[in-house]
Chain A
Amino acid sequence: MRRAAVLGTGQTEHRTRRTDVSMAGLCREAIDRALADAGTGWDQIDAVVLGKAPDLFEGVMMPELFLADAIGAAGKPLLRVHTAGSVGGATGIVATSLIRAGVHRRVLAVAFEKQSESNAMWALSIQPPFSAPITAGAGGYFAPHLRSYIRKYAAPDHIGALVAVKDRRNGALNPYAHLRQPDITLESVQRSPMLWDPIRYDETCPSSDGACALVIGDQAAAEASSRQVAWIRATAMRTEPTFYAGKDHVNPRAGALAAAALWSAAGIKQPLDEIDVAELYVPFSWFEPMWLENVGFVGQGQGWKLVESGETRIGGALPVNPSGGVLCSNPIGASGLLRFAEAAMQVMGRAGEHQVPGAATALGHAYGGGSQFFSMWVVGRQP
């Protein structure tokens, strides 16, 4: 298959409200940084892929239409991608596919969310007629599944809090992170209010305004780059219904299938040994042990043990979310692309204070819907 590589990444400062910029300005902040990082000019971009979560989030139908000028798509192909929370990851994969298909030489992938323009919780809680008013919000949707994980594998209560402490401290090393809490402790997390039992306030992602952009190029473009690129060794996406009889919400089949396909395509036999750093989509802290198992780093019921041992910290056997992850910044539409970008930054050696020393191979991961869409990639210093 043709090779593709991330030539450059860019992201915004993520905040609760970025009222200083329009949606177009928010996207451009990320894009301008990605183009500069890639050393790429506008005239070298052949196509643009825009990722965005549901239109109801911002109340803009088809934002790709009015954003076309701002994101440099005038006169070029423009595609919109939408796969719920995994959309950022899917956006990176669609852009990669355009390169690998030999259609384009350099593609700009951009994803954004301006949560302050609306209320995502409201948008996710629309009450159709003939339904009971039993809404519980996004956290309420996932909390029962986290409870199932805890029960199924007898995980100790403090595992979720350990993840929160790790990610928020990591976020303090990331100048773009929305929440930066170097002084957070296990005790302070455990003292924070219980929102959706068993999810506490400090174990919950924030609502953020933010955007992320990547320049993805073909082999010739990568080899022409004066800087280290992140070679895209494999991508994978899988989907399953939100609900069906027998669906395993603790270990979703689509996630496991996507991971198996990913490792196979990347030629990776022992992910825990061969991956140096992982950016997992963890909007609620308990998802870290669940996804560690789902993507096959460890066996079923072993995820929480890896967390408890401290091996998912920077310096551990498998640093997870050195950027602080979704727990520190959650511009929903961009969150998946941020995971993919952070993985790329790690192997490019451009992750700054949260750089994992010697990172040569990294996983970017995203999921969305009711644990329904999964998208992942493996990037490396070498092709």
Chain B
Amino acid sequence: MDTLAAPLTIAFDYTRSLGPVLGRFMAGLRERRVLGARTSDGRVHVPPLEYDPVTHEPVTDLVEVSPTGTVVSWTWNPRPVEGQPLDRPFGWALIRLDGADTPLLHAVDAEDLNTGMRVRIRWSAQRTGHIRDIACFEPGESDISEISEEFEPVEIMTTPIRLHYQHTTSAEEDRYLRALEQGRIIGQRCPACRKVYVPPRVCPADGVAPDEVVEVADRGMVTTFCVVNVPFAGQRLTPPYVVAQVLLDGADIPISHLILGVEAADVRMGMRVAAVWRDRSRWSTTPENIDHFEPTGEPDAPYESYGEHL
């Protein structure tokens, strides 16, 4: 049987501080102008380098090159994916712009792409001083107009990144989740150190797969905890809340969970707590079947009973 799997998307709008060289390059794009960097050997690099690879000195000499160039080499992309410059089949090409000595990699919107083809930049309608101001290349020549004034460098560029994964569980995690779907908490015992891991996993200390399945209680003790008072990016609960290490009876390693039903200030190390399950109709293969833990009212566990789990 396949183990449980689900999609995971990670996305963030990263920023790029551009510095003086790339900042001028991006500002140029906004004005439909392409700047290259001239290095000590006289070569013009597009996109510009910030530091000379030969002398290692900062590059200061930026020169304008043509928005028209020649395809040096290319490959065909029959199935574009999310985030690429074009949403229909296109060519990826190395293009040496007139006046530049190094080729630039970009998309060419042409069905009969070939080496030596003359191509020009197709500018984006909205230009903001961003690498995406170049939409792609297309066959043809550009008109070269007058060189304009020096422009203020762009300081920051936003570059959203989105990653799609398929998250697949291990055999041990799968077994644990399917038990949770039935309202049970299981661990597995390491055959070497005999410790019961909840959730079960390959023993991190011995590096061996666990064998014996052990059902553990849905109650235990708080070993240690944190009162979260601070909001932060990615947070899904509203502070303040208590995240505790809960050592379930029968387990040898604590799990992290929420403690509710008690003032945060009254949570104690050694406090006895029990799982509060969601309504049975909502159970599925998720640790969220346990909504939180609450104090049981039993006497606190003595320090000696959890001191080795801190």
Known: A129-B6, A132-B287, A134-B243. A22 touches B169 (CB 8 A): no
Known: A24-B19, A72-B56, A197-B227. A126 touches B10 (CB 8 A): yes
The B250-275 residues at the A interface (CB cut-off 8 A) are 252-253, 256-258, 264, 269
The A14-67 residues at the B interface (CB cut-off 8 A) are 17-25, 28, 42, 56, 58-59
Instruction: Say yes or no: is B208 at the interface (Cβ < 8 Å to chain A).
Output: no
Instruction: Say yes or no: is B308 at the interface (Cβ < 8 Å to chain A).
Output: yes
User: Are A245 and B205 touching (Cβ within 8 A)?
Assistant: yes
Provide the residues of chain B in CB contact with A249, threshold 8 Å: 310
User: Are A244 and B253 touching (Cβ within 8 A)?
Assistant: yes
Q: Complex: how many Å from CA A140 to CA B236? A: 14
Provide the residues of chain B in CB contact with A151, threshold 8 Å: 224, 269, 303, 310
Known: A74-B53, A132-B257, A244-B203. A126 touches B234 (CB 8 A): yes
Pick the residue among B14, B21, B233, B244 that contacts A125 (CB under 8 A).
B233
Provide the residues of chain B in CB contact with A136, threshold 8 Å: 226, 228, 243
Provide the residues of chain A in CB contact with B203, threshold 8 Å: 244
Instruction: Say yes or no: is B119 at the interface (Cβ < 8 Å to chain A).
Output: no
Pick the residue among A22, A24, A137, A197 that contacts B235 (CB under 8 A).
A137
Q: Mark B139-179, 1 if CB is under 8 A from A, else 0.
A: 00000000000000001100101000001010001000100
Provide the residues of chain B in CB contact with A243, threshold 8 Å: 204, 253
Q: Which A residue sits closest to B198, measured CB to CB? A: A245
Q: Which A residue sits closest to B177, measured CB to CB? A: A130
For B7, B226, B232, B310, which residue has the most chain A Cβ atoms within 10 angstroms?
B226
Instruction: Say yes or no: is A157 at the interface (Cβ < 8 Å to chain B).
Output: no
Provide the residues of chain B in CB contact with A19, threshold 8 Å: 17, 155-156
Instruction: Say yes or no: is B51 at the interface (Cβ < 8 Å to chain A).
Output: yes
Chain B min CB distance to A254 (Å): 12
Instruction: Say yes or no: is A127 at the interface (Cβ < 8 Å to chain B).
Output: yes
Provide the residues of chain B in CB contact with A126, threshold 8 Å: 8, 10, 234
User: Are A135 and B236 touching (Cβ within 8 A)?
Assistant: yes
What class of interface size applies to chain A in its complex with B? 35 or more
User: Are A137 and B156 touching (Cβ within 8 A)?
Assistant: no
Known: A136-B228, A243-B204. A59 touches B161 (CB 8 A): yes
Q: Complex: how many Å from CA A56 to CA B233? A: 14
Instruction: Say yes or no: is A315 at the interface (Cβ < 8 Å to chain B).
Output: no
Instruction: Say yes or no: is A118 at the interface (Cβ < 8 Å to chain B).
Output: yes
User: Are A25 and B6 touching (Cβ within 8 A)?
Assistant: no
Instruction: Say yes or no: is B77 at the interface (Cβ < 8 Å to chain A).
Output: no
Provide the residues of chain A in CB contact with B204, threshold 8 Å: 241-244
Instruction: Say yes or no: is B16 at the interface (Cβ < 8 Å to chain A).
Output: yes
The A217-254 residues at the B interface (CB cut-off 8 A) are 241-246, 248-250
Instruction: Say yes or no: is B42 at the interface (Cβ < 8 Å to chain A).
Output: no
Q: Which B residue sits closest to A209, measured CB to CB? A: B17
Provide the residues of chain B in CB contact with A28, threshold 8 Å: 51, 58
User: Are A69 and B226 touching (Cβ within 8 A)?
Assistant: no
The B180-205 residues at the A interface (CB cut-off 8 A) are 190, 193, 195-197, 203-205
Chain B min CB distance to A61 (Å): 9
User: Are A135 and B253 touching (Cβ within 8 A)?
Assistant: no
Known: A74-B53, A129-B6, A246-B195. A22 touches B253 (CB 8 A): no
Pick the residue among A20, A25, A152 that contacts B310 (CB under 8 A).
A152
Pick the residue among A69, A139, A144 that contacts B51 (CB under 8 A).
A69
Pick the residue among B50, B56, B230, B307 that contacts A42 (CB under 8 A).
B56
For A17, A129, A152, which residue has the most chain B Cβ atoms within 10 angstroms?
A129
Pick the residue among B252, B258, B286, B307 that contacts A245 (CB under 8 A).
B252
Known: A137-B230, A147-B225. A245 touches B197 (CB 8 A): yes
Provide the residues of chain B in CB contact with A299, threshold 8 Å: none
Known: A59-B159, A194-B229. A246 touches B236 (CB 8 A): no
Q: Complex: how many Å from CA A58 to CA B237? A: 25
User: Are B169 and A130 touching (Cβ within 8 A)?
Assistant: yes
Pick the residue among B19, B53, B155 that contacts A69 (CB under 8 A).
B53
Q: Mark A85-121, 1 if CB is under 8 A from B, else 0.
A: 0000000000000000000000000000010111101
Instruction: Say yes or no: is B22 at the interface (Cβ < 8 Å to chain A).
Output: yes
Q: Mark A146-157, 1 if CB is under 8 A from B, else 0.
A: 011001100000
User: Are B235 and A145 touching (Cβ within 8 A)?
Assistant: no
Q: Complex: how many Å from CA A137 to CA B234? A: 9
Q: Complex: how many Å from CA A139 to CA B239? A: 14
Pick the residue among B50, B54, B252 that contacts A22 (CB under 8 A).
B50
Provide the residues of chain B in CB contact with A241, threshold 8 Å: 204-205
Provide the residues of chain A in CB contact with B22, threshold 8 Å: 22
Pick the residue among B56, B226, B233, B307 that contacts A197 (CB under 8 A).
B226
User: Are B19 and A22 touching (Cβ within 8 A)?
Assistant: yes
Q: 23 A-B pairs, CB-CB below 8 angstroms?
A: A19-B156, A22-B17, A24-B50, A59-B14, A69-B53, A70-B51, A74-B53, A122-B234, A125-B235, A126-B8, A130-B169, A130-B287, A134-B243, A135-B235, A139-B230, A140-B243, A144-B243, A148-B224, A148-B310, A197-B226, A197-B229, A245-B196, A246-B205
A sample of 7 more A-B contacts (CB under 8 A), given A22-B19, A24-B50, A137-B228, is A59-B12, A118-B15, A121-B234, A128-B8, A133-B288, A241-B204, A246-B195
Q: Which 4 pairs, one residue from A and one from B, show the smallest C-beta to C-beta distance?
A: A241-B204, A197-B227, A22-B19, A129-B6
